[in-house]
């Protein structure tokens, strides 16, 4: 699939990317990168912080697709369930300014399939990331409490 830079830019929009606990160290060191399995193309799938349905869709997908071989050291003596998987999924929040990428399926808008937004991998550096508590903790970082948490209602053209 080919992606091109859009003429639309994010203007301090807040996004969330979900990852498993064991991936956080690499993210802190190298920032958000495209997936090693090649499924993410030249960008990072994520969604806007205030897009609750897509956030939950991603969490459910990760809960079902978890690699329990990697998770065993974190869930000792526990039954492997989607609930225990959720305790290992962490949101990573960040603010972004820069161009969106467009996919072949959606040449008219900001987002690619399933409401995910593609952002160039080079734009995300570790100092801009805020790692949240596990998705089942109910704890919301102060990063989201500044203003109304819905920055990104408009994009500059």
**More confidently predicted of 153 and 12:** 12
Residue partners of 131: CB distance under 8 A and separation at least 6: 24, 27, 28, 90, 91, 92, 93
The per-residue pLDDT for 118 is 66
Whether the per-residue pLDDT at 16 is higher than 80: the answer is yes
The per-residue pLDDT for 151 is 41
The residue behind tokens 């467009």 is: 102
**More confidently predicted of 50 and 91:** 91
Q: Three-state SS for 81? A: coil
pLDDT digits (tens, 9 = 90+) for 19-61: 888 888 777 776 676 555 444 445 666 788 888 888 888 898 8
| Closest C-alpha to 51, from 18, 23, 27 | 18
pLDDT digits (tens, 9 = 90+) for 65-88: 888 988 888 887 778 888 889 999
Highest mean pLDDT among 109-113, 116-120, 130-134: 130-134
Whether the per-residue pLDDT at 155 is higher than 50: the answer is no
């Amino acid at each position: 699939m080919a992606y091109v830079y859009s003429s639309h830019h994010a203007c301090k929009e807040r996004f969330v990317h979900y990852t498993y606990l064991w991936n956080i160290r690499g993210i802190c060191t190298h920032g958000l990168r495209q997936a090693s399995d090649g499924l993410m193309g030249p960008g990072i799938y994520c969604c806007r912080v205030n897009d609750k349905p897509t956030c939950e869709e991603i969490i459910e997908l990760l809960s079902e697709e978890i690699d329990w071989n990697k998770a065993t050291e974190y869930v000792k003596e526990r039954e492997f369930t989607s609930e225990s998987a959720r305790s290992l999924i962490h949101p990573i929040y960040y603010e972004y300014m820069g161009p969106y990428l467009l996919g072949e399926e959606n040449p008219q808008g900001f987002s690619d399939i399933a409401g995910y937004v593609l952002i160039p991998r080079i734009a995300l550096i570790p100092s801009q990331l805020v790692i949240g508590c596990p998705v089942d903790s109910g704890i919301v970082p102060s990063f989201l409490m500044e203003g109304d948490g819905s920055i990104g209602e408009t994009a500059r053209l």
